[in-house]
Structure 1
């Protein structure tokens, strides 16, 4: 009787976060990304988005394997073995943001976490660079220094405006815009379809009989906000169009309230508003209630964006919800293609969020 040598498929091995972190560090070291010494623990934790406990365990693992040496000043010197090959291409994909992860919206945090997981599975390391100087009207010097100091296969740009996008376009550095680009900026981008979303929201409010609608959004020429205005304007076309107003604020709760008071005291106050950014929806609703206005009887409220905390409001917010995991998959796929091939068509990928019907409109 022949003895079977195969006992069926083996169970998948579980890989700890410490091992994944050590692997990412080693691959980045071998690519030549760092020379001489590693950066400090705080910078490494921020780039890799792991805790200091996890980072130290990963560093200890690399030290035991002979890839690092610790000096008397506790600096970790890189010790490259002669047999270690140097990959021809960087495996680092970098996020460039004006705000740290802890200050981002909950949906953005979920998206970044999903993105890091998917890129890690594909053999890439995700780094995050928080450099406000790159987000000014003249970012060239800061961008030159950053990209020279921390080279990456692909740059993922969060909340970027025209000056930064124009710089990347001129330098021909591989980048992916998470958001929208102004006309004339031929870069690949991924964003929600704010134009179609707001066209739908405007048509819905118009069917409900609203004759004065306001878009409440932050100041600045962000592509998604501009597309939102276009969508609402398109919804207002036709016979007897309602009045459409755009009210801009500086992002603080105090200024949102000032803008709201000005709208409510006008001779022809709006009866419906579309609000950009989930956090500002809370301010708008609470200020309306504090002012004695009923929602939606006196003012209908539609949130252009979704956040997890909006699921717990009373009344339930009418809003448009995107899937952060689906968004992350689209960003990951585009970033991997750009890193592996060096090219990506400068097209706009737009994902349509779903309407979540609530009690505010």
Structure 2
């Protein structure tokens, strides 16, 4: 058999995760994301969402290419010469969250993985920045420091409140909100249609004879929670005998149980609960069972969201399930359009979750 002609087509080369990581770091250094030295390995692993061994293989490749050198203090100094040409446009799309990936709901983790895959296919890398300070009531200093230190083509905000959103509006940085914007904030957003889901839940509970409904939600003016409240109010509108009780808790089981205890002892206790966070459904159901309440005979329970662990609850929980794959497609499409054009219409894209009939209503 004759050897292949040197002028013929070369077989495709498989690119390892370490190679992709090295390429992402190379592009970030060329774009001037870091000055002087790279951040530590722990920060880079968290930002790039790769293992320590993968990161070290990528750093070794950059060192062999002469782009890095290790100093006596074991810091990696950037050796690439400064270029006076126009800066390379960033190929990084950054997620900003107050919670690390492992602390997110399972559906959010799946969505981030699918988002990373879709962005990688389009030539973008995904970074995750976790900062509690950026989600405070006065986030300006922390946000300024982060966005200066780690420029990105697009910032994707997870679970943000109005002060964070308003800062991105003032700075005019390309930004996409995963969730709902605060009232009057002109940013593009992608979220489940909580208003429609809760309107459906309220109508369902009314048909089952419930007139006193409690909405159980975390404290804080998250757009999706406000939309949920509005949807329930719309479902109860026109019925003078119906009422909505909003229980805003601090996300601890103790506070949530104390609010439920007070509500059950009131002259007109609720007969149905709509729970705005899946993890709190377990707290609500176990508390009601401790108080001798039968579900659904004495108290109906509806989960506004869905997570895999609800499938193992007894009785099965009535809930609303949004598709993680569909969510990732919409977010990646919007993020890529924003990265390529620099702008998106400041509109809300809403995905209607599927109603999952359980046995708690």
Any idea what SS the aligned residue of 2:126 has? Answer: strand
Any idea what SS the aligned residue of 2:281 has? Answer: helix
In the TM superposition, residue 84 of structure 1 has moved relative to its aligned partner by 12
Deviations 1:300-334 (A, max 9, x none): 10000111211211111111001112111111111
In the TM superposition, residue 139 of structure 1 has moved relative to its aligned partner by 1.4
Match for residue 167 of structure 1?
Answer: 167
8 Å CA contact 1:95, 1:155 repeated in 2: yes
In the TM superposition, residue 288 of structure 1 has moved relative to its aligned partner by 0.9
Q: CA RMSD in A?
A: 2.1
8 Å CA contact 2:183, 2:223 repeated in 1: no
Kindly tell me: are residues 11 and 193 of structure 1, through their superposed partners in 2, closer, same or farther at Cα, counting changes over 3 Å? farther
Match for residue 318 of structure 2?
Answer: 318
8 Å CA contact 1:179, 1:224 repeated in 2: yes
Counterpart CA distance in 2 for 1:54 and 1:61 is 11
Kindly tell me: are residues 84 and 173 of structure 1, through their superposed partners in 2, closer, same or farther at Cα, counting changes over 3 Å? closer
The answer to whether 1:203 aligns with 2:208 is no
Deviations 1:24-74 (A, max 9, x none): 212212222122211100100110111112211221222223322222222
Match for residue 30 of structure 1?
Answer: 30
Deviations 1:155-203 (A, max 9, x none): 1111111111111111111111111112211111111111001000100
TM-score between the two structures when normalised by the length of structure 2: 0.93
Match for residue 358 of structure 1?
Answer: 358
Match for residue 283 of structure 1?
Answer: 283
8 Å CA contact 2:30, 2:88 repeated in 1: no
In the TM superposition, residue 239 of structure 1 has moved relative to its aligned partner by 4.1
Counterpart CA distance in 1 for 2:216 and 2:261 is 13
Match for residue 64 of structure 2?
Answer: 64
The answer to whether 1:46 aligns with 2:46 is yes
Could you list the runs of 5+ residues in structure 1 that have no partner in the other structure? none
Counterpart CA distance in 1 for 2:100 and 2:234 is 36
In the TM superposition, residue 18 of structure 1 has moved relative to its aligned partner by 1.9
Deviations 1:120-141 (A, max 9, x none): 1211121111121121211112
Deviations 1:212-244 (A, max 9, x none): 111011111000000001000000023445221
8 Å CA contact 2:155, 2:174 repeated in 1: yes
Match for residue 124 of structure 2?
Answer: 124
Counterparts of residues 125-140 of structure 1 (less than 5 Å)? 125-140=125-140
TM-score between the two structures when normalised by the length of structure 1: 0.93
8 Å CA contact 1:32, 1:86 repeated in 2: no
In the TM superposition, residue 256 of structure 1 has moved relative to its aligned partner by 1.1
Counterparts of residues 317-356 of structure 1 (less than 5 Å)? 317-356=317-356
Counterpart CA distance in 2 for 1:258 and 1:348 is 35
Match for residue 107 of structure 2?
Answer: 107
In the TM superposition, residue 118 of structure 1 has moved relative to its aligned partner by 1.3
Any idea what SS the aligned residue of 1:301 has? Answer: strand
Tell me whether 333-342 or 115-124 shows the greater mean CA deviation.
115-124
Any idea what SS the aligned residue of 2:283 has? Answer: helix
Any idea what SS the aligned residue of 1:349 has? Answer: strand
Counterpart CA distance in 2 for 1:275 and 1:13 is 50
Tell me whether 79-88 or 299-308 shows the greater mean CA deviation.
79-88
Kindly tell me: are residues 84 and 268 of structure 1, through their superposed partners in 2, closer, same or farther at Cα, counting changes over 3 Å? same
Match for residue 97 of structure 1?
Answer: 97
User: How many pairs align?
Assistant: 354
Tell me whether 78-87 or 251-260 shows the greater mean CA deviation.
78-87
Could you list the runs of 5+ residues in structure 2 that have no partner in the other structure? none
The answer to whether 1:190 aligns with 2:190 is yes
Any idea what SS the aligned residue of 1:176 has? Answer: strand
